[in-house]
Amino acid sequence: MDIGFKDKTVLVTGAVRGIGRTIAQAFAERGAKVFAADILSDELDGLFEDESFAGGGGITKLPLDVTDSEAVNAALQDIIAKTGAIDAVVHAAGGVRGLSAQPIEDVSDADWQAIFQANVTGAFNVVRAATPAMKKAGTGRVVIISSRAGLGVSLTGIQSYAMSKAGQIGLVRQLAHELGPFGITVNSVAPGFMRTSPDYERQWQSYDEAKQKAVMDRIAMRRPGQPEDIAHAVLFFASDYAGWVTGQTLAVTGSP
């Protein structure tokens, strides 16, 4: 199956690390004009500088706070002015925002909101800003990176992370129903456990050897996920092959 995105315009949020970075590169390798957005502007500055992509695509770096709706609106308007379109948006920003598990009675309002705002409000802001141009074009692809935590109990133990990932999955279903008549598909990829960022590496290192083994033993494939595993699922959802697939959450977890 040959999946290509030549001359397509794609926005990827959370593009500095792990999953988001690999997704941005995967689209560029297949010919897309990628706008790689992240709030971590210092880290973004050092990325993609010397990379060339066999498929003829390219990456434009875009400092962006997805929780700032005005900034998101302005970014989308600028992308559309430069390229004439927005063909796909992938929301990979968010995660646990450097937080760790605490008993619910110790969770502050600020900690609760930090994760919710990045994961759910960020996704809402990005899709809302992209929708008018996609409606006008009569086509579009939205992919939100949720988590296995949204389908069950989160290994992180963080209440707002589990809630926000379930919230993303609910948002995907509702938006798929709303936007389907306009030719826009909305889907989600739910990764299993992955050591793809400092937050998740810290979580992994907090386990003793027995717990690390137990985590791996619960995965049918007996290995943690890699960013490429998630990127390949995203490419499918964004491609013409998934033109009649919407409102779905694909669990990419190495297990049934």
Per domain, the residue ranges of the chain are 9-243
Position 98 confidence tier, pLDDT thresholds 50, 70, 90: low
**Quick one: average pLDDT of 113-132?**
96
**Confidence (pLDDT) at 216:** 82
Name the CATH superfamily, with its identifier, for domain 9-243. NAD(P)-binding Rossmann-like Domain (3.40.50.720)
Given pLDDT bands bounded at 50, 70 and 90, which one contains residue 200? Answer: low
Dihedral over Cα of 240, 227, 74, 66: its sign? positive
Q: Two tokens at 124?
A: 């809402």
CA 124 to chain centroid, in Å, comes to: 12
Beta bridge partners, 186, equal: 142
Given a cut of 80, is residue 89 above it in pLDDT? yes
Average model confidence (pLDDT) across the chain: 92
pLDDT 10s digits, 7-48 = 999 999 999 989 999 999 999 999 999 999 999 999 999 888
| DSSP code for 88 | E
Whole-angstrom Cα distance, residue 202 to residue 221? Answer: 22
First to last CA, the chain: 24
Is 161 catalytic? The answer is yes
* Whether the Cβ atoms of residue 20 and residue 10 lie closer than 8 Å to each other: no
Average of per-residue pLDDT across 138-147: 97
* Residue 23: its H or E element: helix 18-29
183 residue type, one letter: G
Angle among Cα 203, 14, 220 to the nearest 5 degrees reads: 45
Asked if 248 contacts 43 with a C-beta cutoff of 8 angstroms, the reply is no
Question: Reduced to 3 states, what is the DSSP secondary structure of residue 184?
Answer: strand
Please give the pLDDT value at position 201: 75
Question: For the whole model, what pTM was predicted?
Answer: 0.92
Instruction: Convert the pLDDT of each residue in 202-225 to its tens digit.
Output: 777 878 888 888 878 888 989 888
Catalytic residue among 161, 200, 207, 241: 161
Amino acid 58 reads G
